[in-house]
Amino acid sequence: MASVQAACSNLFHTNHVVDDDLKQRRRSQILLNTFRNEFSAPINRNKERESRVLVLYTGGTIGMMKNDMNAYVPIPDAFEKYIRRIPYMHDEEYVASKLSSKDKSKFLVLPEVADKARVLYHIKEYSTLLDSCNMAMESWIRIALDIQKSYESYDGFVILHGTDTLAYTASALSFMFENLGKTVIVTGSQIPVFESRSDGRDNILGALVLAGNYVIPEVTVFFRNNLFRGNRTMKKSTDAFLAFDSPNMSPIAKIGINIEVDPQLIFRPHTIDKFRVQSTLNPNVGLLRLFPNITSQAVRAFLQPPIEGVVLQTYGAGNVPSNREDLMEELKAATRRGVLIVNCTQCIEGSVSANYETGMVLEQAGVIPGMDMTPEAALTKLSYVLSKTEWDAAVKCEMMQKNLRGELSAEQSHSRKRSMLTNIDSITNEEKAKLESIMLPALINYYVANGNIEELEALKEMGADFSSENSDFRTPLHVACSEGNLQVVEFLLLNGASVHKKDRYDFTPLMDAIRSDHHDVIEVLVKCGAHLSLTQPKNIGEELCRAAAKDKLERLQSYQVAGADLSQTDFNDNTALHIAALHGNKRIVSYLLDMQANKTAKNILGETPADLARRMNHPDVLSLLT
């Protein structure tokens, strides 16, 4: 950009009184040639990729200090100041040399690690820091709306939270976030970060690395080097660093010397729809735990209005005393009134079933089997389902038994149905798995490029991961969008492909579709939640100006379909309309005006598009602009 800036600077300091036509034409030709050269070169990009993570600091032990009474209390404005002083949490040298003045005060930066991108993170501290015991539905809604507001500006999200109710928050958010496409991680600590033996620093660091480098479109919990599905998580210890566990599901990822992510365990959206937040929840839900000699009067009182949903925690595999007809009558009466009752086991591990007579009687009473849902997941799911006014009672009952966010094991299998190397006996199963991990992505991209959906279906049966990456971090969706095969794009999206993954050059599948001018593909990607980066608008302005300079109408249309502001400026405050006027590209000017482009915008020389058209003697373009 130095050449453009130098040319503009020289023009700016030149006396604008035109001495003669020759001087005017010479100066205009210099400017035109400069722009031609500039817009024929690729945009300069940093060699080091960056990702941006929003950290919501809501409170909890992680940011507390001891007061005069030796009790932990939250300290406002202390957390970020402390983190900035930790060298392995913040690279001040990178900030000073690489970030803009605006970003320097906003972002902290992780030091370089052996991952895909440098992680920039912004900490938003809540004005009222809450102990997790004080968390309520209103807090969940606030967190959800904050993420919704910032969704397109960040690559991932980390929520710092107290541990006592963390599993409830993670479960609730998992249901409130519909069609989630980005990584959301909830974490905290058993000891505050200000203490020398704190587990909090490693928990934050691990969460940031995962949120900034991996697209895991779930609400998860990160603790002690394990990433769990949020709605499968329970707090298991008050004093161990591994405070959380997921008894009915393995961790999605583990951090050791290497980061191991199991793509088969990731629960991905399988719809073509945008991210949205269900911002209302039904508070009329509760937990009722059975115990020997519980009275029917107590059960009746608990089930009275305004209660609308109940998680019934039963014995063993979902059993109740079958000889207690008084209890069964109360449950039947409640289900007849429309109360949704979900049967969950009191055991930490396992699932409810109707294998015993004592379990069958509950289903006969209209109680919904909760399978292997945790009580936290069942309660927050009830609150979510009951808030859906567009669903009738039958649909709500069905949804409580449906696997919405990976919260239960029904309808879900992560085992591969068949292997590519079944008939090869000369290698071990471990060697087969390693070969398949190499061959499957290559085959996927081959069949994607050739539009062979039948073979892609066969690879799906083998457990193919349609979000897998090659050495340039390109996914099958990148390839399909470059090829412009709409049918393949839709197949991939309906099978869990991510629209948010970036390749080595920071391009998403949407950018590949734009660069190839596949408008129908762009429309589907946008419908699925793909969006242009809001963090580098000047780069988009550069691309728009480049298209205008080269008379590429289809490219401008691609950006318009993708939701770009066609009046976005480049680094010299030129809009595409400025450049089109400069080059005399009449059809581009006409299109931009039809798209309501700003014809009064001024560049760094204070010139409007009309001024440039007049300077370059393009009367037909000037007539459109005046």
User: Which positions are catalytic?
Assistant: 61
In degrees and rounded to multiples of 5, residue 511 shows phi and psi of -65, -35
Count CB atoms within 10 A of the CB of residue 496: 17
Interatomic CA distance for residues 31 and 11, integer angstroms: 9
Interatomic CA distance for residues 328 and 339, integer angstroms: 14
Looking at residue 319, what DSSP letter applies? B
On whether the CB atoms of residues 63 and 56 are closer than 8 A, the answer is no
Give the 3-state secondary structure of residue 368: strand
Long-range contacts of 196-202 (CB under 8 A, 24+ apart): 199/224, 199/241, 200/61, 200/62, 201/86, 201/89
| Positive or negative torsion for Cα 16, 19, 20, 23 | negative
Q: Which residue has the tokens 């690729």?
A: 42
Q: Write the burial class of residue 219 (CB in 10 Å: 0-12 exposed, 13-18 middle, 19+ buried).
A: buried
Nearest alpha-carbon partner for 443 in 415, 462, 424, 418: 462
Interatomic CA distance for residues 433 and 430, integer angstroms: 5
Looking at residue 152, what DSSP letter applies? G
Give the 3-state secondary structure of residue 555: helix
Tokens of 142: 């606030």
On whether the CB atoms of residues 119 and 212 are closer than 8 A, the answer is yes
On whether the CB atoms of residues 255 and 228 are closer than 8 A, the answer is no
Interatomic CA distance for residues 363 and 347, integer angstroms: 19
On whether the CB atoms of residues 89 and 110 are closer than 8 A, the answer is yes
